[in-house]
Amino acid sequence: MKMNGKTTPAAAATSAVLLATSAVLLAASPAAFAAGPMDFDPINGTPYGAANTSWQEPLVVPEGFCQTKVFDETDLDMYPGQDDLNDMNTVNETGPRAGRYLYSTKEVGSDGGLSVVDLKTGEVSEMIRRDDWSRLDGIRWTPWGTLLFAEETSGGRLFEAYLDPKDLTTVTRVEERREVGIMRHEGIEATEDGTVYVIDELNGGSIYKFEPTKRGDLSEGQLYALKLDGLSDAEQKWNSDTFTDKVGSFEWVPLDMDQVVVEADAASNEVNATEFGRPEDVEVIGKTLYVNNTSEDRTVAIDLNEKRLSSYVLAGENVPVENREAGMTGFNSPDNLAQGPDGRLWIVEDNFISDIWVAGKDKDHDGQADDVKQFASLVDSGAEISGIYFGKDPKTLFLSIQHPDKPLADGVWKVTPC
């Protein structure tokens, strides 16, 4: 989530050809886009000239949608005097009270914690915090009824929280799951069969799959790294000029588990696993694993059955290139992902000003989304959106607002049809 001040080759492109291509892509198909309960007409671009810090509502959203505060620091201020940095969100997705509680991580540099909201009563409270936790980021409810969350920092750990079945706001114990890898964690995905997907968030980070020996027990198993076929060892390394060549068939390569529990990046380097530009979030929809590569301005689709990787969303290809100085709305630094109620992919940016995009399905099977449309944008140029997420209600999109210029406004909001 952290801002990095980078300029990618795509984002820096200012040629007339690229600007013209962006304009055509942005103008195409202005009609209602996403099917189902979140039908929308795309907004009219990013509000570069209208950014302000006195907002009552943080977003520009399509006509027919309303935004409502879930909580901010005026309701719960876990870190007085500094931003709470509410980050990723999840709800209890299974069980008799599924969808009632919203859990959020805090990306503070020390004394990390989780908050919980009872969505029925609106009560928000601190759930747990520890002084040895740092930069908590990704969070995911597992099919076996626990919470996974992790640290986005060098030496970052993944944790598994067990909750009181009679009170899902109470943590009974937390286990450190080093077997899933010590790395700069962000996105986490846990599938029904027990597999966990994670990434290492750096330029040169890899994409990982953990298969437990026993479903629901992450204390033992095998971690794998994705390795594309047909590339030399040198070509597997991160290179900002050649990342678009990193497509095609791949294999999951098993890693040395003795190294994994110390530093997963060292283990993946030993097998020359493929490196990407700041992999951030992961989302499985059907049999496809999607990963945002922030430094590449690219979202990749990984077909888990066919074992093929493609550029699903790529700035300058099926979505415009952003040129803020020229007032050109575009795709820049994709960060978090969410599965929409109709199975489409929702994407939020890690930049100023953050936009939310929705990628259409790949009906022509060429590996790319058939269309990509802008759903929303921030009005606070000092803030960013994070933690986009659909819980059990298909008409509710949750999102976090991080480090706004507006005082005590770091919090979680929801967007729903009016």
Full DSSP string of 145-190: S-EEEEE-STT--EEEEEEETTEEEEEEEEEE-GGG--S----EEE
Q: For the chain, which ranges sit under pLDDT 50?
A: 2-32
Q: What is the residue-wise DSSP string for 44-68?
A: SS--GGG--S--SS-EE--TTEEEE
**Could you tell me the two tokens for 7?**
């300029």
Is 26 part of any domain?
Answer: yes
pLDDT for the residue numbered 352: 86
Q: What is the mean pLDDT of the chain?
A: 92
Is 389 part of any domain?
Answer: yes
Q: CATH number of the domain that 32 lies in? A: 2.120.10.30
pLDDT for the residue numbered 77: 98
Question: 89-109 b/e with 16+ CB inside 10 Å = b?
Answer: bbbbeeeeeebbbbbbbbbbe
Q: How far, in Å, CA of 214 to CA of 200, rounded? A: 24
Is 61 part of any domain?
Answer: yes
Q: What share of the chain is helix, strand, coil (3-state, %, to 5)?
A: 10, 40, 45
Q: Is 277 helix (H, G, I), strand (E, B) or coil?
A: strand
Q: How far, in Å, CA of 113 to CA of 84, rounded? A: 10
Peptide bond into 353 cis (omega under 30): yes
List, in sequence order, every beta strand (DSSP E) within 206-333.
Answer: 207-214, 217-228, 248-254, 276-277, 279-285, 288-293, 298-303, 308-314
Is 226 part of any domain?
Answer: yes
Is 163 part of any domain?
Answer: yes
Domain count of the fold of the chain = 1
Paired residues of 290 in beta bridges:
283, 301
Give just the sign of the alpha carbon dihedral 382, 332, 45, 343.
negative
Task: Give the torsion through C-alpha atoms of 196, 134, 298, 301, to 10 deg.
Answer: 0
Is 341 part of any domain?
Answer: yes
Give just the sign of the alpha carbon dihedral 243, 247, 249, 252.
positive
pLDDT for the residue numbered 1: 55
Q: How far, in Å, CA of 367 to CA of 346, rounded? A: 17
**Could you tell me the two tokens for 86?**
């509410």
Q: Which residues span the domain enclosing 202?
A: 9-417
Q: Are 405 and 352 in contact (CB under 8 A)?
A: no
Is 1 part of any domain?
Answer: no
Is 4 part of any domain?
Answer: no
Q: Are 61 and 43 in contact (CB under 8 A)?
A: yes
State how beta strands 217-228 and 207-214 pair. Answer: antiparallel
